[in-house]
Amino acid sequence: MAIMKYISLIIVLVVVLVTPQAEAQVVPSIPPIGVVTVLNVTGVVGCSLNGSINPSPPFPYAVVDLTCGGIVIAFNTTNLSGAFTILLTPVQTSSALSYGACKVVVYTPLAKCNATLPSTGTLKAPVQIVRSTIIGLLNTLFAVPTGPFNLLG
């Protein structure tokens, strides 16, 4: 009789110990709560028909839009060196990532930086995320134009 009680106790312990482990395997992984993701897009725009990667001369004070899925998500203006930074809020980042196919678009006419260049058309370049950095609860995605800007009429 004592052996039956001992075996019953072992069975109960095994069932109790195994049950929580089986349930834990069924629960899907949940991303950490409180992690904030932002997108930081940087680049340089040149004052040329192809807006080359090594812009010479630079295109200062050009309005640069970040467009994802055909929708303008955010914008900024280039500095004297033609450089720009577009830092998105978490809500804008979520929108950009859900729309996909992001591009940097410059609507400012090239004639603004060089009168011999066309006064119509836009410079466009696709954007690609190149790295991610997590510091504390902040996840920053860094993106850059993936090639020279092309003039589209």
pLDDT tens track of the chain, all 153 residues? 555 444 444 443 444 444 444 333 333 334 444 578 999 999 999 888 765 555 568 899 999 999 999 999 999 999 999 999 999 999 999 888 888 889 999 988 888 888 888 888 888 999 999 999 888 888 899 999 987 788 887
Tokens 């991303």 belong to which residue? 31
| 8 A C-beta contact, residue 108 and residue 6 | no
Q: Which value, in Å, is the radius of gyration of the alpha carbons in the chain?
A: 27
> What is the predicted pLDDT for the residue at 21?
40
CA of residue 1 relative to chain centroid, distance: 68
Q: What angle do CA 117, 111, 147 make, to 5 degrees?
A: 70
Fold annotation for 36-152 = Immunoglobulin-like (2.60.40)
Phi, psi of 93 (to 5 degrees): -60, -45
Domain boundaries, the chain: 36-152
CA of residue 28 relative to chain centroid, distance: 25
| 8 A C-beta contact, residue 64 and residue 85 | no
Q: What distance in Å separates the CA atoms of residue 46 and residue 63, rounded to the nearest whole number?
A: 13
Phi, psi of 88 (to 5 degrees): -90, 150
Q: What distance in Å separates the CA atoms of residue 113 and residue 125, rounded to the nearest whole number?
A: 19
